[in-house]
Amino acid sequence: MDERTKQLISFLKNYDGKELRLMEVCGTHTAQIAKNGIPSLLSDKIRLISGPGCPVCVTVSGYIDRLIELAKQPDIVVVTFGDMLRVPGSRVSLAGAKAEGAKVRMVYSPMEILKLAEENREKKFVFAAVGFETTTPVYALLVKQAQQKGLHNIRLLTSLKTMPPVIEWLCRTKKTQIDGFLAPGHVCTVTGTELFEQLARKYEIPFVAAGFEGVQLLSAIAALVKMQGKGELKNFYPSAVGREPNIEAQNKVDEIFDICDAAWRGMGVIPNSGRKLSDKYRQFDAGSEFLMEDEKKNKACACAQILTGEKRPEECPLFGKVCTPDSPQGACMVSMEGSCFHSFESQK
């Protein structure tokens, strides 16, 4: 351990000022904070809370129910990533529906659907398109290639979200006291930092754009502690993040997708926080609009409150009992970017 790291740990471990609640809103940050054991290196007066930065976690149960409904139709196959398979809908997960006969395929890349659709033109293939600004360009490319190849049997069921509106929602509604934000690292590579600078000034809350290594995260947390009460943003990840957005990626997305209102688990519908296929490409849509939150499979699940920082995973009555990674009752226990998953793993 070098001297700089020792100094960072000493500063954070010995902090004895105002109690601070600092939120990270990037699923990879959540995973790396857990992997590096960072909570154990902090003073009891610094609490890290995980926000809505896991795309699987913020996807509402109504979306899962719609995927299941589609997968049960005789000519449709639903295609998805592995972690989406186990997210509970209002009755059952996709994995559970598959066991009941629904047609569901797991892939590692959205682009795999092109080959499936080309080789099986008698069937329709619906991709479960979830994610934030970093993955939306991939879906834009998928739609363009499907169009170029004349593959009329590909559809997307979209649950695509954008980060700045939900962070503003957290600042405005004050569901929980937040004294600083680790800005979403991957998202900032696409959006730039300017939008988050605006939020910092408007709500007088510090933001730090950070990388993903342990020392980078410690540096960012120390900066937030020192910046408390200041409405400004510091960029600690200049090798990948600039102030301006990635125009090339933005243009690709804007060609295919329009901005729309979107439903977030536990937060309801947030205006202008999502992306939907534009009218020009609507033939690729599988019925994505008006997919709202439905009744939870287990009403005791506190995933909604955990995503907004109102509760810790350990405060959910199901945590570690009926809700485990092997038997998840809520989305936060499913994904490797979910806060409940990492809290459970850290207690082993």
Q: pLDDT tens, 42-71?
A: 999 999 999 999 999 999 999 999 999 999
**Are residues 157 and 177 both part of a single domain?**
yes
Query: Do 9 and 65 share a structural domain?
Result: yes
Cα 135–chain centre separation: 11
Give me the amino acid identity at 292: M
User: Which residue is listed with tokens 């970017």?
Assistant: 337
Pair (310, 279) in one structural domain: no
Give pLDDT, residue 254: 96
Q: What is the DSSP letter of 309?
A: T
Task: Give the chain's domain count.
Answer: 2
Do both 318 and 284 map to the same domain? no
pLDDT band per the 50, 70, 90 thresholds, residue 1: confident
One domain for residues 291 and 206: yes
Mean pLDDT computed over 341-348: 86
Q: Mark whether 67 and 134 lie in a shared domain.
A: yes
Nearest residue to 54 (alpha-carbon basis) of 184, 169, 196:
184
Q: What is the pLDDT of residue 296?
A: 66
What would the mean pLDDT of 153-179 be, rounded to a whole number? 94
Q: 90: domain CATH number?
A: 3.40.50.11740
| CA–CA dist 348, 189 (Å, integer) | 34
> In terms of domains, do 75 and 213 share one?
yes
Whether residues 158 and 276 fall in one domain: yes
Assess whether 186 and 51 both reside in one domain.
yes
Helix 214-226 crosses helix 3-13 at what angle (to 10 degrees)? 50
Range of the domain at 332: 303-346
User: Residues 259, 186: one domain?
Assistant: yes
Q: What are 319-328's pLDDT values in tens digits?
A: 999 999 999 9
What six digits make up the tokens of 93? Answer: 């997960």
